[in-house]
């Protein structure tokens, strides 16, 4: 792991972030810390990603481009920096991936951000579009794919009109088709290995979002748990995972494990919570809120025919977000979705058949130079953490990330269950070799208000 307190991103106008530069050098330091191509480090022949990528490989690079908007707030500047992977971190990864390919193979930079994301606004604001376009102009074998087959576009009559202490919002979210993955999609089915097999009583109550609550249920039954994966991902030989280090109201933090949700095109199939309170066998809410809060949450996004939605929101300015859709530390559902998707991405072959061995090589390179704390992922507050984290095993990277944030990993079932028991994804945490280049963080991150257990 690399710690560079005070290191910030270069200005977006300097994209494509040609070397030399301090962020570029910090990523190279991370490669050295990970021991990649150790024998040739410091020489012109150094090929760090050659330990993962072979000439002729198909390489998927998965940054985290979550969204450009959080309800009525446009994410710009450091608010965008703390939520998505920056282009200056992506640039050295692309350079060294191209070096490892030696002129053969291809690199696809991909994501499936949240349905309402204007992806071009995100990649433009982070210098990613300029970086990829410039490298392609230099004949680098790189493509950029939005793997979503649709997005929702806001058409607002009132958009953050402020008055009487509230933000007034009224309009529609209109579903529009996108080209999607040019190679198509494949349904991958997990059988008894699914983390949901432990809780069959929840199958009729699994939910995605209040606007599409029942959509996961047809895809989860005893011995059958379905996920849709872009073929560009399944046909990859290597997946380079470039998540953003930030908090998350449903999982505690989001890092390498959670990032794989961006590698499925059917987000509505994904269980995010179980309807009801714990007393009712659910984890949607710790307890039922007042009727006024329930009405407010319901109207914030009301489903309409054709997968469109009505928005009628007037939140109080400065008020904390309501607990909705399992956004609290009692969520015992979404980590199961994350565990299933990690199995699929690691073990499903090109035909979508889940094997008992890895089907592709993986490496995590996590961007925490400007990280996110507080009400993440979309409402995170920027934290100039100066951190880059990496490793071959997503669960161990998340374990180190949690410790770096000052959080208790045992408080997060996403991490705890990924490292132990029959649902294990990686090696025992006792085998972890944690190497730091630079000072370890000492000041804990601010957790989401609904996750006080993170600080022990």
CATH of the domain at 50: 3.40.50.11440
Confirm whether 456 is domain-assigned. no
Six-digit token string for 150? 């649709």
Q: How do strand 379-383 and strand 361-375 relate by DSSP bridges?
A: antiparallel
Residue with tokens 């309800």: 71
Q: Check if the beta carbon of residue 370 is closer than 8 Å to that of residue 82.
A: yes
What average pLDDT does range 211-229 have in this prediction? 94
Q: What is the pTM of this model?
A: 0.93
Judgement on whether residues 294 and 224 belong to the same structural domain of the protein: no
Last residue of one domain, picked from the residues 297, 322, 347:
322
Are the C-beta atoms of residues 61 and 240 closer than 8 Å to each other?
yes
Residue 432 or residue 174, greater confidence:
174
Q: Residues 400-441: pLDDT tens digits?
A: 999 999 999 999 999 999 998 655 665 666 667 789 999 999
Residue 345 has pLDDT above 80, yes or no: yes
Assess whether 301 and 341 both reside in one domain.
no
Instruction: Evaluate whether residue 432 is within a structural domain.
Output: yes
pLDDT band at residue 67 using 50, 70 and 90 as cut-offs: confident
Percent of the chain with pLDDT over 90: 78
pLDDT recorded at residue 434: 86
Do the domain assignments include residue 395?
yes
Check: CB of residue 226 under 8 Å from CB of residue 340. no
Same domain, 136 and 204: yes
Local confidence band at 71 (pLDDT 50, 70, 90 cut-offs): low
pLDDT higher than threshold 60 for residue 340: yes
Q: End-to-end distance of the chain based on CA atoms, in angstroms?
A: 24
Tens of pLDDT, residues 86-119: 999 999 999 999 999 999 999 999 999 988 899 9
For residues 133 and 153, membership in a common domain is answered with no
**What is the tally of structural domains in the chain?**
2
The per-residue pLDDT for 236 is 98
399 and 316, same domain (yes or no): no
Query: 389 is in which domain, residue-wise?
Result: 2-148+182-276+326-448
pLDDT per position as a tens digit, 301-321: 788 888 888 888 888 887 665
- Average per-residue pLDDT for the chain: 93
Domain membership of residue 281 (yes or no) is no
200 and 266 housed in the same domain: yes
- Across the range 53-74, mean pLDDT stands at 88
Residues 267 and 292 in one domain: no
Has residue 196 been placed in a domain?
A: yes
Whether 128 maps to a domain, the answer reads yes
Please indicate, yes or no, whether residues 165 and 28 belong to a single structural domain of this protein: no
144 with 248, same domain?
A: yes
Instruction: Give the tens place of pLDDT for each residue, 74-83.
Output: 788 899 999 9
């Amino acid at each position: 792991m690399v710690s560079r307190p005070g290191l910030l991103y270069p200005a977006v106008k300097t994209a494509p972030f040609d070397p030399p530069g301090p962020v570029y050098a910090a990523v190279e330091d991370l490669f050295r810390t990970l021991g990649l191509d150790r024998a040739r480090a410091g020489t012109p022949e150094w090929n760090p990603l050659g330990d993962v990528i072979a000439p002729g490989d198909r390489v998927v690079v998965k940054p985290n481009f979550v969204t450009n908007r959080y309800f009525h707030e446009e994410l710009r500047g450091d608010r965008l920096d703390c939520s998505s992977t920056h282009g200056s971190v992506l640039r050295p990864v692309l350079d060294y991936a191209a070096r490892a390919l030696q002129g053969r193979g291809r690199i696809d930079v991909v994501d499936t951000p949240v349905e309402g994301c204007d992806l071009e606004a995100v990649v433009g604001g982070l210098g990613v579009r300029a970086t990829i376009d410039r490298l392609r102009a230099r004949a680098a074998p790189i493509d950029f794919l939005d793997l979503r087959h649709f997005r929702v576009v806001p058409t607002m009559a009132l958009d953050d009109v402020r008055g009487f202490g509230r933000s007034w919002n009224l309009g529609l979210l209109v579903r529009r088709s996108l080209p999607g993955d040019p190679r198509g999609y494949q349904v991958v089915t997990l059988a008894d290995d699914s983390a949901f097999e432990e809780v069959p009583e929840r199958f009729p109550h699994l939910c995605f979002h209040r606007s599409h609550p029942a959509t996961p249920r047809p895809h989860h039954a005893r011995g059958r748990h379905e996920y849709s994966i872009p073929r560009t991902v399944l046909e990859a030989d290597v997946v380079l995972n470039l998540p953003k280090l930030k908090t998350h109201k449903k999982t505690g933090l989001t890092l390498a494990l959670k990032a794989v949700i961006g590698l499925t095109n059917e987000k509505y199939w994904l269980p995010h919570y179980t309807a009801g309170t714990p007393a009712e066998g659910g984890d949607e809410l710790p307890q039922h809120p007042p009727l006024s809060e329930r009405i407010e949450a319901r109207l914030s996004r009301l489903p309409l025919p054709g997968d469109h939605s009505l928005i009628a929101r007037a939140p109080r300015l400065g008020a904390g977000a309501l607990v909705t859709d399992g956004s609290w530390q009692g969520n015992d559902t979404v980590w199961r979705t994350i565990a299933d998707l990690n199995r699929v991405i690691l073990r499903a072959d090109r035909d979508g058949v889940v094997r008992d061995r890895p089907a592709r090589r993986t490496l995590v390179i996590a961007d925490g130079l400007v990280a996110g704390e507080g009400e993440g992922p979309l409402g995170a507050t920027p934290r100039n953490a100066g951190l880059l984290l990496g490793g071959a095993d997503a669960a161990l990277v998340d374990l180190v990330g949690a410790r770096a944030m000052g959080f208790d990993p045992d408080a997060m079932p996403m991490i705890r269950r990924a490292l132990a028991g029959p649902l294990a994804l990686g090696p025992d945490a006792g085998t972890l070799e944690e190497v730091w280049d630079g000072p370890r963080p000492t000041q804990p991150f601010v957790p989401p208000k609904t996750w006080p257990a993170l600080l022990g």
